[in-house]
Amino acid sequence: MFKFILPVLLLITSCLGRPESQIRRFPNDFLWGVGSSAYQIEGGWNADDKGESIWDFLTHTHPEKIADQSNADISADSYHQWKRDVQMVKKLNVGTYRFSLSWPRIMPGGYKNRVSTAGIKYYSNLIDELLRYNITPMVTIYHWDLPQKLQELGGWTNPEIIPLFKDYARFVLKTYGDRVKTWTTINEPWHVCECGLGLDYMAPSYNYPGIPSYLCGHNLLKAHAEVVHMYREQFQSKQGGRIGITLDTSWMEPKDINSTDDREASERAMQFYLGWFAHPIFSEHGNYPKVMIERIRNLSKKQGFGVRSRLPEFTTEEIHRIRGTSDFFGINSYTTKLVTLNGHNNTGQFPVPSFNHDMGVVETQKGVDWPSSGSDWLKVYPKGMYNLLMWINREYNAPEILVTENGVSDRGGLEDYARVDYYNLYLSAVLDAIEDGVNITGYIAWSLMDSYEWKVGFTEKFGLYHVDFNSPKRTRTPKISARVFAQICKTNTIDLRYRPKLNEEQQQVAMAQLPAENQVARTSGASQLKSEGSSSPGSL
């Protein structure tokens, strides 16, 4: 932990500036929230009549592809503990809870001919409970858990997915839209397509580079647009809500800011990672980024694919249909990469063809002292968040931006001061962007509680609440970061001086995690902490 804390302290020191900068205030109407996703927290994988998802299939048939060979069959058991979840959200003082619906829980086979009464009731109860406490639901229609039966038809590479997704979306918009006023169609399309199909990383784990991910992206964008048009034409005026999409990227920092090539690598990487999905929706002229169209077309020809590019082409009508189909710009981001151009001899050693070879950019995080507390890929560099927000603002003509995911992982524990520092630093970067004219209207912390982290299983934790996955009750306990984030949301302020201690509940859980021979020493330390005392918001 010390290896992480020292660089973070240096980051904080560099951000403090004048003494008054230790306390910073957000706009009065700023939206605060916390997020989760269905597959990661719900469990109940075959409860009632829920269908099988691609993640159920992957983790059951190929457990060796998961870091700890685990699955989310039970996970945090939110399918049964949703009332406890709402109480946790309430104690964080947030106004919004972002969560996703499970397509196979609502439509077990993926088709509208079979709808689950139990699945419908589960989400309806959750929404009603949130509203009971004046918490606004922000609902993601699709967060990676495609019905396995649809994957067997080709999933997102098959154009048939477009009307099927529209059927599913129509049902949930009609069922819950009277109470849900903020929707996102799809979470992180880049991960859906490239990590699921181009790489052996996310379900369905194809490892088929250079072709299916572009088919996936093409169909996904058209499906998104159809749902948005349907919502605007059939539901929006009556229900009074809004709808958008959540995209994601790391910030791509030039490895050498003085290098023309590295600056070109940064811009090209941003266009490939974010522009792939943002350009068709948010740019003035629509369509894929010009650099993406040209590079993939030229490389396809050189690789023997003929005149037909591996990147599908939109018709003029489709370009117009997709452009403008989001009421806000949802962005998820966690870290920064250093980038330089891939050499003519493929110095990055990328498969040919592949997304990375098409992009022609080599990424690294080596050679920097950015700290990390849990994930090898997640290094702390808050200036990258500022740079990303400024880039979106410039590139897409100052859209309204919602930061729909941001947070940091660790390996567990309740004294997560590294997470506290991360939130303070990244929120400071968000405020810097707001003060420099970017229209950022909200921030959703990731995540509400420890959960199933996809390919790394339960080995990494993002939660504000600790979940005891060894307990049948899946006991939840607030971490230090929960108390700090609750204070931020309550006061609309970040205070870099606020460093609470473990409260009594947290001390008991922390001691239970230690080997028996260490608990006596921990008890004496806990007594000292208790005697010192600390202010805490609400009942955390």
Q: What is the pLDDT of residue 507?
A: 84
Q: What is the pLDDT averaged over residues 193-221?
A: 98
* 415 in active site: no
Structural domain contains residue 540: no
Q: What is the pLDDT of residue 515?
A: 55
Give the Cα separation of 164 and 483 in Å (integer). Answer: 42
Structural domain contains residue 538: no
Q: What is the pLDDT of residue 185?
A: 99
Give the Cα separation of 110 and 124 in Å (integer). Answer: 19
Contacts of 492 (CB under 8 A, 6+ apart): 25, 26, 28, 30, 32
Sorting pLDDT into bands at 50, 70 and 90, what band is 438?
Answer: very high
Listing DSSP states for 294-360 in one string gives HHHHHHHHHTT-TTS-SSPPPPHHHHHHHTT--SSEEEE---EEEEEEPPTT-TT---SS-HHHHHT
| Residue 510 predicted with pLDDT over 90 | no
Tokens of 96: 């919004």
* 194 in active site: no
Helix (H) or strand (E) holding 64: none
The angle, 0 to 180 degrees and rounded to 10, between the axes of the packed helices 480-491 and 417-435 is: 30
Q: What is the pLDDT of residue 136?
A: 98
Q: What is the pLDDT averaged over residues 237-266?
A: 98
User: Per the residue annotation, which of 129, 267, 318, 405 is the catalytic one?
Assistant: 405
Q: What is the pLDDT averaged over residues 199-227?
A: 98
Structural domain contains residue 358: yes
Number of domains observed in the structure of the chain:
1
| Residue 535 predicted with pLDDT over 60 | no
Structural domain contains residue 125: yes
Q: What is the pLDDT of residue 512?
A: 80
The angle, 0 to 180 degrees and rounded to 10, between the axes of the packed helices 212-234 and 161-176 is: 40
Give the Cα separation of 405 and 251 in Å (integer). Answer: 14
Listing DSSP states for 173-185 in one string gives HHHHTTT--EEEE
Sorting pLDDT into bands at 50, 70 and 90, what band is 210?
Answer: very high
Q: What is the pLDDT averaged over residues 144-170?
A: 98
239-248, 372-381, 418-427 — which is least confidently predicted? Answer: 372-381
| Residue 14 predicted with pLDDT over 60 | no
| Residue 231 predicted with pLDDT over 60 | yes
Gyration radius from the chain CA atoms? 23
Report helix, strand or coil for 442. strand
pTM: 0.93
User: Per the residue annotation, which of 42, 129, 188, 267 is the catalytic one?
Assistant: 188
The answer, yes or no, to whether the previous bond of 283 is cis (omega within 30 of 0) is no
Domain containing residue 316: CATH number: 3.20.20.80
| Residue 534 predicted with pLDDT over 50 | no
> 62: how many CB neighbours lie within 10 A of its CB?
13
Q: What is the pLDDT of residue 57?
A: 98
Structural domain contains residue 183: yes
Structural domain contains residue 539: no
Helix (H) or strand (E) holding 158: none
Q: Which residues of 255-273 are buried (b: 16+ CB within 10 A; e: fewer)?
A: beeeeeebbbbbbbbbbbb
| Residue 493 predicted with pLDDT over 90 | yes
Q: What is the pLDDT of residue 506?
A: 83
Q: What is the pLDDT of residue 531?
A: 27
Q: What is the pLDDT of residue 17?
A: 43
Structural domain contains residue 62: yes
Sorting pLDDT into bands at 50, 70 and 90, what band is 1?
Answer: very low
Residue-number span of the structural domain to which 33 is assigned? 2-532
Structural domain contains residue 122: yes
Q: What is the pLDDT of residue 503?
A: 85
Q: What is the pLDDT of residue 21?
A: 66
What sign for the dihedral angle of Cα 223, 229, 230, 232?
positive
Give the Cα separation of 326 and 227 in Å (integer). Answer: 11
Q: What is the pLDDT of residue 7?
A: 52
Cα angle value 171/175/282 (rounded, 5°):
65
| Residue 66 predicted with pLDDT over 70 | yes
Sorting pLDDT into bands at 50, 70 and 90, what band is 533?
Answer: very low
